[in-house]
Amino acid sequence: MNIAEKIAGKDLRSALEVCDSMGQLARIRRQVDPFYEIPDVIRNAGRQPEIPALLFENVQHYPGWQVAASLVSHPLRTAAIYDLPANPIECKLRLMDLLDRPIPTVTVNSGPCKENVITRNIDVKSIVPATHGALQSNHFYYQGPVVTQDFQSGKQNLGIYRTCVQGPATVTVNGRWDRHFGLQLSDAKREGRTMPVAIILGADPLWLMAAASKLPYGYDDWGLVGAIRGRPMEMVKCETSDLLVPADAEVIIEGEIRPPYEMGDDGPWPEYLGYLGMNIHPPLVHITAITHRNKPVTTIFCPNASPEYYGYISGAQFLRHLRGFASTFVMDCATHPATLHHHAVIKVRKTEAHHEALQLNVALAAFGYGIELDRVTLVDDDIDIYNPSQVEWAVATRCDASKQVHILCNARTHQNNPIAGVKEFDDQPITKAKWIIDATIPWKYRVAEKKPGVTFFTRSHWNGLDLKEYLEPDDAARWVKTNDKGKILEGILAPWNSDRS
Ligand SMILES: Cc1cc2nc3c(=O)[nH]c(=O)nc-3n(C[C@H](O)[C@H](O)[C@H](O)COP(=O)(O)O)c2cc1C
């Protein structure tokens, strides 16, 4: 069976098959504990030049369960699992098209996720493998898509919000106030309602990506998954609420946030920017049921352990947002792998004098995409934004900081950026300056000629011969890296597209 046929699958198990068929699944057969040992194995594997997908087949304390990790930690494997083009701009254009054509879900009577239904004597931590993550942490955590519902419209929302075990049948869900989850919880509190919650564990990586994506409130996330897969997602109703969850999920934790809306304790957790997160108090969820498949497979993911490519949909939506403002003047955009949504690079195409300064309006529009975005670097159309060295070169050679760096004081940002998060100690809003680095060549300098046909920014030119023709065949095979179409490798989904929003 080829990879494409395997992708016809629809859940975590089929994603594992894709990894296996590509020879990229490492099965770990010795017994490992999920609390500290599995995250450490993931972290060590995550530091290898080529990161394998991992399947822990013998999980201590959890006989019969398996844990998968790092499925989407390798760019080409990730493209195969998602069934999306590996080239970043092609991938974005495909997703931008699919975002307009979601395929509605269908509801079925039952599915594999109902093979085991537990509604009594629930002890979540002894049923479903949990992890501590970093050494400083001693809470038990899960990370999976969380389903909630808008009370007025009935539309469901999907987001990944960290889940932290509080007691045998209680967890917290870290859906912050500014997330769609947080907005729905505010509505529930205002009306004194109970808010049902369903946490999906053992998810297809595509569901995780859809959940992690910054899409407009009310957008049909499952519909986008259906559009990418080319068929509707099959959903089943929860046992204890009307929420709908994927029939092929491995595990569902059902619960409720009820008046008087108690809070729990979470933290410290190894946060995505590489710093240890603070102790926080997210809302408490009372577990009402756990359902799971036979021989379940769940996932463990820890920020900073291994890169995980969950950012392609957000990348497409970001470009859609910018093009909604300035059309194809915006050629492409990407977030930086080290700082995720805190730094975006935007490539613009100035072709006429009146385009000058429009790039600054584009940067201002970018800040409206999400509060995390702290810095925008603007570059011209000749820069490969997936290559940090080229961006660095553009900043160094095209930006006069006294004229082309713009600072906007004190706008809201994400608390996990510690230079803003420290403000919590003073009970201040979490704000920091936003800044724009305009590394596009100012129009008048772009066209100013030193001598006819040569500007200050004219690059040196080369013939572009084919290196393969000059090397012995063995050396050509060893040193010239091409893709399967024979093109020199460039612009594959590189770490620049990784993000967690
Ligand atoms: C592995 C992972 C863990 C995440 N954990 C959290 C979290 O604990 N809290 C949070 O607010 N966002 C978290 N996010 C980001 C949200 O899932 C993301 O912002 C998403 O867009 C939220 O959904 P919403 O836009 O419907 O609110 C996480 C993302 C990933 C990939």
Q: Is residue 478 part of a domain?
A: no
Q: Cα(221)–Cα(237) distance, rounded to whole angstroms? A: 17
Q: Is residue 355 part of a domain?
A: yes
Answer yes or no: do 36 and 151 share one domain.
Answer: yes
- Examine the pLDDT at 218 and tell me if it is beyond 70: yes
Q: Cα(217)–Cα(159) distance, rounded to whole angstroms? A: 11
Answer yes or no: do 132 and 258 share one domain.
Answer: yes
∠ CA 183-193-244, nearest 5°, is 70
- Give the torsion sign (CA, 16, 494, 346, 418): positive
CA of 181 to the centre of ligand 1 (A): 10
Mean per-residue pLDDT for 453-472?
Answer: 90
Higher pLDDT, 491 or 42: 42
Ligand 1 in reach of 139 Cβ (< 6 A): no
Answer yes or no: do 277 and 360 share one domain.
Answer: no
CA of 133 to the centre of ligand 1 (A): 17
Answer yes or no: do 276 and 373 share one domain.
Answer: no
CA of 162 to the centre of ligand 1 (A): 8
Answer yes or no: do 204 and 336 share one domain.
Answer: no
Within a 10 A sphere around the Cβ of 194, how many other Cβ atoms? 13
- 297: nearest Cα among 166, 431, 205: 205
If pLDDT is split at 50, 70 and 90, which confidence band does 302 have? Answer: confident
Per-residue confidence (pLDDT) for residue 464, from 0 to 100: 77
Question: Of 273, 299, 325, which residue sits at a domain end?
Answer: 299
Per-residue confidence (pLDDT) for residue 367, from 0 to 100: 97
Q: Is residue 99 part of a domain?
A: yes
If pLDDT is split at 50, 70 and 90, which confidence band does 477 have? Answer: confident
- Provide the CATH number for the domain around residue 444: 3.40.1670.10
Can the peptide bond before residue 260 be classed as cis, meaning omega within 30 degrees of 0? yes
Mean per-residue pLDDT for 246-273?
Answer: 96
Per-residue confidence (pLDDT) for residue 419, from 0 to 100: 93
Ligand 1 in reach of 341 Cβ (< 6 A): no
Per-residue confidence (pLDDT) for residue 93, from 0 to 100: 94
- Provide the CATH number for the domain around residue 127: 2.30.110.10
Mean pLDDT score of the chain, rounded to an integer? 92
Q: Cα(413)–Cα(410) distance, rounded to whole angstroms? A: 9
Pocket test for ligand 1, best of 143, 160, 285, 373 (most atoms within 8 A of CB): 160
Helical ranges in 53-177 per DSSP H: 75-82, 88-99, 124-127
Q: Is residue 282 part of a domain?
A: yes
Per-residue confidence (pLDDT) for residue 193, from 0 to 100: 97
Q: Cα(20)–Cα(26) distance, rounded to whole angstroms? A: 8
Residue 369: give the domain boundaries: 312-448
Answer yes or no: do 52 and 172 share one domain.
Answer: yes
Q: What is the DSSP string of 326-393?
A: HGGGEEEEEEETTTEEEEEEEEE---SGGGTTHHHHHHHHHHTT-TT--EEEEE-TTS-TT-HHHHHH
If pLDDT is split at 50, 70 and 90, which confidence band does 498 have? Answer: very low
Per-residue confidence (pLDDT) for residue 490, from 0 to 100: 46
CA of 351 to the centre of ligand 1 (A): 38
Strands 66-69 and 53-56: antiparallel
Answer yes or no: do 130 and 226 share one domain.
Answer: yes
Ligand 1 in reach of 269 Cβ (< 6 A): no
Beta bridge partners of 236: 245
Can the peptide bond before residue 268 be classed as cis, meaning omega within 30 degrees of 0? yes
Q: What is the pLDDT of residues 402-445, one digit of tens each?
A: 999 999 998 999 988 999 989 888 889 999 999 999 999 999 99
- 328: nearest Cα among 348, 344, 312, 346: 348
If pLDDT is split at 50, 70 and 90, which confidence band does 483 have? Answer: low
Answer yes or no: do 230 and 366 share one domain.
Answer: no
CA of 247 to the centre of ligand 1 (A): 22
**Is the backbone of residue 272 left (phi > 0), alpha (psi -120 to 50) or beta?**
alpha
Tokens of 312: 């392609």
Per-residue confidence (pLDDT) for residue 110, from 0 to 100: 96
Cβ atoms of 385 and 496 within 8 Å: the answer is yes
Answer yes or no: do 241 and 324 share one domain.
Answer: no
- 10: nearest Cα among 310, 309, 232, 308: 232
Mean per-residue pLDDT for 252-279?
Answer: 94
Q: Is residue 305 part of a domain?
A: no
Question: Of 401, 424, 448, which residue sits at a domain end?
Answer: 448
Answer yes or no: do 426 and 283 share one domain.
Answer: no
> How many domains does the chain divide into?
2
Helical ranges in 176-220 per DSSP H: 180-191, 205-212
Mean per-residue pLDDT for 170-186?
Answer: 93
Q: Is residue 454 part of a domain?
A: no
Q: Cα(470)–Cα(480) distance, rounded to whole angstroms? A: 11
Per-residue confidence (pLDDT) for residue 487, from 0 to 100: 54
∠ CA 33-36-42, nearest 5°, is 90
> By mean pLDDT, which of 179-188, 221-230, 236-245, 418-427 is the weakest?
418-427
Answer yes or no: do 248 and 356 share one domain.
Answer: no
Cβ atoms of 345 and 333 within 8 Å: the answer is yes
CA of 381 to the centre of ligand 1 (A): 32
Per-residue confidence (pLDDT) for residue 304, from 0 to 100: 82
Per-residue confidence (pLDDT) for residue 311, from 0 to 100: 92
If pLDDT is split at 50, 70 and 90, which confidence band does 500 have? Answer: very low
Per-residue confidence (pLDDT) for residue 499, from 0 to 100: 32
Mean per-residue pLDDT for 78-96?
Answer: 93
Identify the helix (H) or strand (E) that includes residue 133.
Answer: none
- Examine the pLDDT at 495 and tell me if it is beyond 50: no
Question: Of 274, 299, 324, which residue sits at a domain end?
Answer: 299
CA of 363 to the centre of ligand 1 (A): 24
Q: Is residue 461 part of a domain?
A: no
Ligand 1 in reach of 150 Cβ (< 6 A): no
If pLDDT is split at 50, 70 and 90, which confidence band does 145 have? Answer: very high
Which residue's CA lies nearest to atom 13 of ligand 1? 161
If pLDDT is split at 50, 70 and 90, which confidence band does 3 have? Answer: low
> By mean pLDDT, which of 4-13, 131-140, 455-464 is the weakest?
4-13
Per-residue confidence (pLDDT) for residue 493, from 0 to 100: 38
Q: DSSP assignment, residue 114?
A: G
Per-residue confidence (pLDDT) for residue 88, from 0 to 100: 86
Per-residue confidence (pLDDT) for residue 497, from 0 to 100: 35
Ligand 1 in reach of 371 Cβ (< 6 A): no
Ligand 1 in reach of 307 Cβ (< 6 A): no
Ligand 1 in reach of 213 Cβ (< 6 A): yes
Ligand 1 in reach of 496 Cβ (< 6 A): no
Q: Is residue 479 part of a domain?
A: no
Mean per-residue pLDDT for 17-34?
Answer: 97
Beta bridge partners of 346: 333, 378
Per-residue confidence (pLDDT) for residue 494, from 0 to 100: 39
CA of 322 to the centre of ligand 1 (A): 22
Q: What are phi and psi of 251, to 5 degrees?
A: -140, 140
Ligand 1 in reach of 288 Cβ (< 6 A): no
- 254: nearest Cα among 286, 211, 299, 222: 286
Cα–Cα distances in angstroms (integers) from residue 178 to residues 214, 217, 294, 371, in the given order: 12, 11, 37, 9
Q: What number does the ligand 1 atom closest to the CA of 157 have?
A: 26
Answer yes or no: do 128 and 63 share one domain.
Answer: yes
Per-residue confidence (pLDDT) for residue 501, from 0 to 100: 28
